[in-house]
């Protein structure tokens, strides 16, 4: 999701929940995303995952972005949509895992522990490095449409 404030675009990023990500910041943020269910269309999965990770349903015209391959080998497909949600009001689904490790106890954690709006250059530094290509492509699309000045942050 993106928005334009005073001619400067911002993108919504989410921070993964759970103990592994608790103290990680730069390079840890991501777009809302997840796994595509068997037989599910990519775009339907993107809408579902956005809702599951933020509590908000994306509405509006979706802009297809070029897929990226992350260091892990996972290929991520993404769409951009203009919108404006209250990042502080997100509500994420949760997952269970053994915590503390080897304790035999299960603990519940949010998939996403917080969301925040970032200017494009800051977003590229905060997010998974491969996903920064989504922000660069969005910047080109918005500049081509005349929605922003090139290289605005």
- 48 in a structural domain: yes
- 151 in a structural domain: no
128: left (phi over 0), alpha (psi -120 to 50) or beta: beta
What's the confidence (pLDDT) of residue 144? 85
What's the confidence (pLDDT) of residue 106? 97
Tens digits of per-residue pLDDT, 62-117? 999 999 999 999 999 999 999 999 999 999 999 999 999 999 999 999 999 999 99
Q: Which domain holds residue 67?
A: 2-144
SS3 86: coil
What's the CA gap between 92 and 85, in Å, rounded? 14
Q: Does residue 153 carry a pLDDT above 60?
A: no
Beta bridge mates, 16: 112
Which CATH number do you get for residue 9?
3.90.79.10
Q: Which two tokens stand for residue 71?
A: 């260091």
Q: What is the pTM of this model?
A: 0.91
The residues near 81 (Cβ < 8 Å, ≥ 6 apart) are 1, 2, 58, 59, 60, 61, 62, 63
Strand-strand pairing, 62-69 and 8-16: unpaired
- 108 in a structural domain: yes
Domains in the chain, number: 1
Q: Does residue 9 carry a pLDDT above 90?
A: yes
* Nearest CA-CA partner of 85 in 6, 7, 13, 8: 13
Tens digits of per-residue pLDDT, 30-55? 999 999 999 999 999 999 999 999 99
- 75 in a structural domain: yes
- 31 in a structural domain: yes
């Amino acid at each position: 999701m993106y928005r334009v404030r005073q001619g400067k675009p911002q993108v919504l990023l989410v921070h993964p929940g759970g103990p592994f990500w608790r103290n990680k910041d730069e390079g840890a943020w991501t777009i809302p995303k997840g796994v595509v269910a068997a037989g599910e269309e990519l775009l339907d999965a993107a809408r579902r995952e956005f809702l599951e990770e933020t509590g908000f349903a994306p509405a509006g015209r979706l802009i297809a972005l070029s897929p990226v391959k992350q260091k892990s080998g996972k290929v991520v497909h993404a769409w951009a949509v203009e919108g404006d949600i209250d990042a502080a009001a997100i509500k994420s689904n949760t997952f269970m895992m053994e915590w503390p490790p080897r304790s035999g106890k299960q603990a519940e954690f949010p998939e996403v522990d917080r969301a925040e709006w970032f200017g494009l250059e800051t977003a590229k530094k905060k997010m998974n490095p491969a996903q920064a290509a989504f922000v660069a492509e969005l910047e080109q699309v918005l500049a081509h449409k005349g929605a922003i000045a090139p290289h605005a942050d």
